[in-house]
Amino acid sequence: MADLVQILVLGLALGGVYALMGAGLSLIFGVMRIVNLAHPALIMMGAYAAYWAFRIYDVDPMVMLPVAALLLAATGVLLYKLVFEREAHSAKYSEMTVLLTFALAMVIEGALGAAFTNTQRVTSPDYATDAFFIGSVFIPKGQLYAGMVSLTLIGALSLFLKYSSFGYAIRATTQNREAAELLGVNVNFVGLVSFAIGVGLAGAAGALISFVFSFFPAKHWEWIAVLMSLVVLGGMGSILGTVLAAYILAVIAAFVGFFFGATWSTLTFFVALFVVLLVRPQGLFGEKPELA
């Protein structure tokens, strides 16, 4: 029984980190219809920013988190203006972004590999290898802190989207881009800010995973199926759905890893992606597509 509780605790602790990793991707798709395959590579950039700040200046990754988020948000603004803005009204925009972001992911990987080699890195603050003990059950401090910070950021994003005037504009654009534009919403600016926020969340997630997982430039390919399974299961564009999917799949993956071995743990996300697309492609909170 204690083993099962321990697995559940570890799965829930990682669920928060997965949720933050997927939240930015879900926001970007919901507002801009961008299928951002480069999102994990942008997370890697945040992880490297936190790693080198810790390695050179002994800056705690969680202290570095807002800096990494701002750096990546600025990168997001630049990418949006240079790559994604011009064809935003195209009927084939989503399909185009798959190829664009795939190429972007390869460029980022190549740049990180050239700068830092493919050596595995991990940030090592004291709490990363420490734990709280409740009887025979332990809670890794690194995963717990990362999960709590992730939920705090997602909660702040949710409040911003729900109660701020700009949040209303983002939600209106998500629901119907053309109608929002007719009502006076500057959808181009909304897209720019939303993309910057989504990429900024990737930077924040990178700072957190820098001490939760080891990483290297090509690691982002392992995260694509994981993040896509979260946003597809939750419903493309639904942040709440992404959070719930993150916890569900993280717990299932933890149990699969315990009973069948760690190698099979990641397969959970691949299988989930396949099954959801086959059985319920709109996900938990997505709207069922209407037939023409």
pLDDT digits (tens, 9 = 90+) for 173-227: 988 888 998 888 999 999 999 999 999 999 999 999 999 999 999 999 989 989 9
Please tell me what DSSP assigns to residue 80: I
pLDDT digits (tens, 9 = 90+) for 81-139: 998 887 777 778 888 899 999 999 999 999 999 999 989 999 999 999 999 998 889 99
State how far the alpha carbon of 264 is from the alpha carbons of 151, 175, 255, in Å: 27, 37, 10
**Which of 1.10.3470, 1.10.260, 1.10.3710, 3.40.50 is the CATH number of 2-279?**
1.10.3470
Angle between helices 39-57 and 187-212 (to 10 degrees): 50
Enumerate helices (H) and strands (E) in the chain, giving the number of each. Answer: 12, 2
Cα separation, 24 vs 8, in Å, equals 25
Burial class (CB in 10 A: 0-12, 13-18, 19+), 3: exposed
Q: Work out the average pLDDT over 145-164.
A: 95
Q: Work out the average pLDDT over 5-31.
A: 92
Query: Which structure tokens are listed for 70?
Result: 């701002």
pLDDT digits (tens, 9 = 90+) for 25-47: 999 998 888 999 999 999 999 99
Residue 292 has a pLDDT of: 39
pLDDT at residue 290 tops 50:
no
